[in-house]
Chain A
């Protein structure tokens, strides 16, 4: 009986130790902060996207099996809306400082379209503007809080630029190809995401607090939601845009 008691005791102790060890070895960053996730729904009739005539650019045209269409409104197969920029508009403590950006954010010009079509970047983070097409593009940023720029890229090359002030959104465009538009959200924190091909988005690592979350779409404008998160919980905030 005493033996059994000892065994159980040792077993319990070992188990606790193992648990403690497991808890200790988990990287704290992954646990820190709450997660906000959600879907961007789309209701109403999906607008017909205009076909883009790329016959002036055979190199780009050759990259498509079916004629490419305008990207202003991209409704996914599951009825959700892609390319919606979702971000923390307000609620972060004044003392918050963003971690140093890991590396540049890449915007690729491929097939006479921007990839991605909507994206976010930190103030001071490098935007690497890549021309994969090898034909003339110019990339023009038309921010109002940031100084603009307009660079010529007549060949396969990468140019880097940074932004100095938060701004949602900075329009990017190519004037050689009037259909090429991209939207860049410049923020002083990393709490942003873009709805993907399934309409979902995820923002991780939010400190506890109450936030105004904005979902921004180039045609349907902004929508906001207020969300309170604590600890490492996962909260859901869905948005819904209606056809106009």
Chain B
């Protein structure tokens, strides 16, 4: 398996875990009224910083596990070289993620202009970042699987 394909797969797994964790955590805080006070944005920001730290730890763990699993299944040391095709696939995937992020941010700004709260805008931005990451890894996986 090319290194880019493995990274896309581990990225998707990591992001799905993080999205589930973040959703539960934020909904839980919302239900307990943590975001009702005047310091709602600070509470939100602290939660997100903790989630970023947790997601880095999850990414490292998933990556190491995938590396070990591939070595066990194939009986060979995984090939971590990147070539021109890996770079091309990376660029294509990044452009898809960039389109989503650009149009998404524009939509959030329009939403703000029509009276949406800053809190809602921040949550939408966060969801957009996660969505863009999922799209990037998903496109990469499709391109690798298609053979292009």
A binds B: no
Binding site for A on B (CB under 8 A): none
Binding site for B on A (CB under 8 A): none
